[in-house]
Structures are given as C-alpha cells and as structure tokens.
Amino acid sequence: MSKQQLDAILQLAAEAPPPENPTPPDMRAWFEAINAQTPMAEGVAISPMSSGSWSGEWLRPSRSDGKRLMIYYHGGGFLFGSPRSHRAVTTQLAQLTAAPVLSIDYRLAPEHPAPAAHDDCFDAYRWALQQGFDASSITLAGDSAGGNLALSTAIRARDEGLPLPGCVVMMSPALDLAGDGESHIRLQNAPLLTKELIDLFNRAYVGEGDLRSSLVTPFYSDMAGLPPILIHVGSNELLVDDSLTLAERIEQAGGPVELKVWQDMVHCWQLYGPMLEESMQSMEEIARFAMAHTG
C-alpha cells in the first residue's frame, strides 16, 4: 500500500512543479502552498516566539514533562521553508516525544546570505541553554538544509566549549554542497530535489563563496566528540551519499551514529505525515531515539 501512497504523492508533486524563473517570494509561496494540506497532529498548541535576528514557534503537546526539548531546523535550501511549512513533522514529533518542539524561523537567502542561517540556528541553541534547558535534554533535529544546520550547531557548540545536546537527528541532510558524492551524478534526476534546485540554493546562500567551508556545511569538519546521531535518508534521493559518507566519517572518528537508508523513499518523505506509512514510521523511530538519549 505504501508504494501506491508514494506514487500518488509524487503525482501530486509533479502537478505542482516549482514556478519558472521564480523570485524568492515566488518560491516561498509555492513551497508553503504545497505543504499546507498535509495533516498535522492534533492536540498540539502552537505559539510564536522571537529572539534577536531569529524567530520561531513553540509546539507544545497536551502531555509533556517540560524538561526535554527538541529544537527543529526546517529544510528548504536556505531559500524557503518555515515553521509553518513543516508542521506536519514538528507537531507529530511533539506528540510522539511528549516534549515541546521549538521550530526555528532563521533568516533566509538571498536576502541573508551565509552564514546567517547557521548563526541564527546556533544562537537558538545557546538561547535554549540560557532559558535553563539542560543540554543533555535537548535534541537538535532537522531535514535537508535543516539537517546541515542541526549538525553544524552541535559541532560549533563543541568547538566553542558549550555543553553538547543529548543527540542530533538528521532527515535527508544536505551536506555535500559541492556535489562530490557519486549519487549527485547517478541520481541527479531523482524526484523532488534536483541538481538544478541545489544549484539555485547554492547561488542564493553561498554565492561565490566556498561550498566546502565550515561556514556553510559541517561535511568536512572533525567528527570526534559528538553526541549520538541518527540519520534517515531515502534510497531514491540525490543526497543519499551525503548521509553514507557522513556516517562513515563519524564511525572513523569513534562517534556513535545510527544510519537507516529507507528503500525507495524520496527526499524528506517525512513531510507527507499520515499520508505515507513510511513517514510516520520514520518519525516514530526518531521519537524513540530522541527519548532514549534525552532522558
């Protein structure tokens, strides 16, 4: 049944392609519209918040111990996406973990090029520590570009001497911005995320900068001394080698990492929520991982 579900979802996506010759507002409106109909979890209270250069929203489940926290960084190539576009994921994770989720609305490119998003996301983690959350009770999570931001935040916390989060979760993380991995060639026509879109994202956020710089990706960083990391990636997505290579590097550094490649899944399939069986299965596994490492 799930194969039929995925085929139906991809058909709907094909009927609503990105606009031609779009402006950033065009791309943002398109992305918000295609995600607006995905069901959210019930029983989650949503409220806005802001701090400095970034804002966000709290997603609080009806049952929560108030001690654990998930900080969520949305995907969208640093160009589009928002806490609203990702509520199908964040509301489910709030319910499944019985903990509040702080979904970060970081500054977007091209109005705010690198490293604005990375700075905002690190500042959000530092803010959570200042509010009294114990680092070991915090999960840093994100999809696509948000997975990049989650790992970058943990590495920067380590390098700047801040206490480390309890764990990091990445869904289809966008790490190999330079496209060195073989899957960037072999699967460049995979559904949803194409090489053309990645090139657009890179131009907007990095411009003429170094695509391998630690300011824009943690892919080439020292992986030693990091908290437990969970990576979920689809077998049918251009970025699959990003995850495979990262997991190998973490293992070589002696770090704890769990990698699961989901057969036939496409980029960020979790965004389809209850519409796709594997979406809910992935989020349930993510929730169990987060709860096990932030007790």
Q: Which residues are catalytic?
A: 144, 237, 267
Q: Are strands 138-143 and 257-262 parallel, antiparallel or unpaired?
A: unpaired
Distance, in Å, from the CA atom of 77 to the CA atom of 265, rounded to the nearest integer, reads 19
Distance, in Å, from the CA atom of 141 to the CA atom of 172, rounded to the nearest integer, reads 11
Query: Which helix (DSSP H) or strand (DSSP E) does residue 97 occupy?
Result: helix 87-97
DSSP summary character for residue 275: G
Read off φ and ψ for residue 99, nearest 5 degrees: -145, 150
Q: Classify each residue of 131-155 as buried b or exposed e, where b means 16 or more C-beta atoms within 10 Å of its C-beta.
A: eebebebbbbbbbbbbbbbbbbbbb
Q: How many CB atoms lie within 10 A of CB 36?
A: 11
For residue 151, give the nearest of 41, 227, 262, 238 by alpha carbon: 227
Positive or negative, the CA dihedral 271, 109, 236, 258 is negative
Q: Are 164 and 157 in contact (CB under 8 A)?
A: yes
